[in-house]
Structures are given as C-alpha cells and as structure tokens.
Amino acid sequence: MIPYGKQDITQADIDAVMEALTSDLITQGARVPEFEATIAKYCDAEYAVAVNSATSALHIACLALGVTEKDIVWTSPNSFVASANCALYCGAEVDFVDIDSTTGNMCIQTLSNKLEQAAKHNRLPKVIIPVHFAGQSCDMAAISGLAKQYNIAIIEDASHAIGGRYQNTKIGSCKYSDITVFSFHPVKIVTTAEGGMALTNKPELHQKLMLLRSHGVTRDESIMAASNPAPWVYEQVTLGFNYRMTELQAALGLSQISRIDEYVTRRNHIAARYMTAFNQADIDCLTVSEDCYSAYHLFVIKVPQHCHELIFKQLRQAGIGVNLHYIPIHTQPYFTRLGFTTGMFPNAETHAAQAISLPLYPKLTTEQQDIVIKEVINAVQTCN
Ligand SMILES: *Cc1c(COP(=O)(O)O)cnc(C)c1O
C-alpha cells in the first residue's frame, strides 16, 4: 500500500535520538529549549513552547487566552476534531464557520456575516481558530482585521502548514494571530513521533504557556509569591498539566527541522506534477492562492459525489492508501449530541462528499506517483 503520508527517518535522525537517549537528561534537558529556539527563529516568532502534541498546544493556547466555560470558540468544520475539542476542554462552547469550497479554508465572507449576527445577539466568540487546510494559509490579513474589529483573539491551527508562507510572512510568525500551533505527528511535515508547539510574540502568553505545560509550577522568582525563596523552593501558581516534550523527541525534531525546506520543496514538486496531470484529465484539485506558498501536507482532489465511494474503494484496492480529510467535525456523533446537525455547514459537507487525499510525502517516488495518477484517472473515467 502506498500511504497518503509517511515520515522520513534518516540515519542522522537515528544518531540524534541515540545521542539523546544515552545522555544524562532524557527529559527536561537542553534539547527542548534548543528545538524551541530553532523553530522560533525559522518562523520569525519571538517565542516557542514545545509540548507533547498539537492537541495539548491547542488546549494550553485556549487557556492562556483565558477561555472559560463562559466563552465561545469558533473554528473550521473541515479539520481534525482536536481543533474544536480544545475549546470543550476549557468548558467553552464551540461553533463553526463554513469553508470556501475552492480552498477548504474558513470562508471570510461567511465569517464576516456570522460575526455581524453574533455581535447583534451578544454571542461573539472569545477566540477564532482558523485551520490552514492541507498546508495553505487562511486569509489571515482578513481574519485578523475582523478579529481586531470585534476584539477577538486568534489561534492559528497550523498543524499542516509549517514551512509554508502567507504573503511575505512565514507560517508561525504570528503576525496575524496571538498564537500559532504546529503538530509533529508522523504524517505531518516534520515529526517528533508525537509532539507539538505553540508560538507567540507576546511575553505574557509565553509565560502562561510555559506554566500550563508543566503543572503550573515555576522557579521564576518574578512570578513567585515568596520573596527571597530558598534554593529548593518551587511554586505552583496556576493549574497546569504535564504536556512536556521529551529530549528524545526534541532531538528528532532538531534533526528533522534541518531538512524542512527540502521537504516542503519536494512536496510542492509532487503537488505540481499532480496538478498538471489532473488538469489535463479534468479532475478538480483545491486551488492555492497567489499569495500563499503551501507546505502541502495534503493533496486533495474532488470527484463527483455519486462516484466518491466507488473511486475511493477502487483506489484502496489498487494499493493506494487514499484518505478523507475531513469528516466534518460537526457531524461526528459527539458533536451531534451537542446539538449540531447535518446541513449546518453545507460547504464542508459537500467537500467531504467529494474529497480524496492522495499520497504525498517526500519519499514518494516519481514511479509511485505515476501509478497513483494512472489509477486515479482510470477510476474517475470508469465512474463517469
Ligand atoms: C494533526 C492535527 C491536529 C492534532 O495534532 P496532534 O499532534 O496529533 O495532537 C490538530 N489539528 C489539525 C488540523 C491536525 O491536522
């Protein structure tokens, strides 16, 4: 089976992890801060806080921004459930903003209209979480403009998008947001097995994220109650978690991140080849805006709805590990129990009824890609 995504582990990665594993500190050592500094520098952000998953990063990002049970958080229905669950962890209410069908990203006009309505009913969200679907940035200038107008915070869920750019900013620079979150799950652009990161330019958010990641405990005298504390004193100043990343993961991440541009270039090259082949065959692909450089976590085609399942099954039978990104979050049983129903976010639903994610990862060979292209065109023509 040719999978839809796959990590690339080199001998250098193995050596880096082995070195970390046999060093004195296998957690809470120097590699995590080094990994954080490397990512912050790469993304042009001030601060980065490494955690054990993007899910954890989203959770503490919401908490750092003060999300409570009195609040509402909006995100995209075309995402992994973690984009919405972070709000529920804080006891907040979650709602969704439908997508633009051509990109799969949050639709700006829909957001604008929904904000206008919410303002009228005193139901504005505290935080909006745009998701950079497939690796392409949302229109962050527009989202940030609207958020400023209504005094709403922004967390970018950039789990798909490290290595990408929006206009002339790096994804992760937080130019248009309070916090940006990355995932280092193996199917993503770079991996630490499990892992994530929250980036910010705001020192007060950085401090909160650091506390929340590690039990709410600090040895920083500037935020401790005790003056002149004894050398053994640490203080718990808030309720935090153990969301720490290990030294082994940071070692892997540091080794991986040295190849990020190579990875994203290769992903763009593969995507361009798909695009050329499918344009000729009249198969729909998502569009990437002129002002975006996608990190291309995913390559998504759209097929006629009545052929969707047939084509999907045929490709799987042909040994191609296609996938669906995403089953709309609001249609998941847990969310329908919260009151969401099918029909609420029709563009995300139609997207899910047509979308197929094709294999896309740095080590996908040209020969493998040609097989995928041939099988896709064959399956689409068989159905039509
Ligand atoms: C993968 C992913 C997450 C969760 O990442 P983990 O690191 O597995 O917790 C969240 N949001 C999106 C959009 C993702 O793709």
The reply to whether ligand 1 has any atom less than 6 angstroms from the CB of 77 is no
Any bridge partners for residue 323, and if so which? 357
Spell out the residues 6+ positions from residue 145 whose beta carbon is closer than 8 angstroms to its own: none
Measure the CA–CA gap between 196 and 57, rounded to whole angstroms. Answer: 6
pLDDT tens-digit profile of 324-348? 999 999 999 999 999 999 999 999 9
User: Which alpha helices (DSSP H) does the chain contain, by range?
Assistant: 11-21, 31-43, 54-64, 82-89, 108-120, 140-150, 203-213, 247-257, 260-280, 308-317, 333-336, 346-354, 366-383
pLDDT tens-digit profile of 348-377? 999 999 999 999 999 999 999 999 999 999
Cα(235) to ligand 1 centroid in Å equals 32
What's residue 70's pLDDT?
98
pLDDT tens-digit profile of 172-183? 999 999 999 999
What's residue 57's pLDDT?
99
Measure the CA–CA gap between 52 and 56, rounded to whole angstroms. Answer: 7
Three-state DSSP state, 37: helix
Spell out the residues 6+ positions from residue 252 whose beta carbon is closer than 8 angstroms to its own: 13, 16, 17, 191, 192, 193
Q: What is the pTM of this model?
A: 0.98
What's residue 384's pLDDT?
73
Tokens for 63, please give them: 């908490």
What's residue 58's pLDDT?
99
Spell out the residues 6+ positions from residue 280 whose beta carbon is closer than 8 angstroms to its own: none
Q: Which among 55, 73, 81, 138 is the best mutation to test ligand 1's pocket, defined by most ligand atoms within 8 Å of the CB? A: 55
Alpha carbons within 13 A on the beta-carbon side of 20: 26
Measure the CA–CA gap between 245 and 174, rounded to whole angstroms. Answer: 22
Cα(90) to ligand 1 centroid in Å equals 18
pLDDT tens-digit profile of 198-228? 999 999 999 999 999 999 999 988 888 888 8
Average pLDDT in the 283-301 region?
97
Average pLDDT in the 161-169 region?
97
pLDDT tens-digit profile of 106-142? 999 999 999 999 999 999 999 999 999 999 999 999 9
What's residue 13's pLDDT?
98
pLDDT tens-digit profile of 19-63? 999 999 999 999 999 999 999 999 999 999 999 999 999 999 999
Cα(233) to ligand 1 centroid in Å equals 36
The reply to whether ligand 1 has any atom less than 6 angstroms from the CB of 82 is yes
Q: Among residues of the chain, what percentage have pLDDT more than 90?
A: 95
What's residue 231's pLDDT?
87
pLDDT tens-digit profile of 248-283? 999 999 999 999 999 999 999 999 999 999 999 999
- In ligand 1, the atom with minimum distance to the C-alpha of 83 is 11
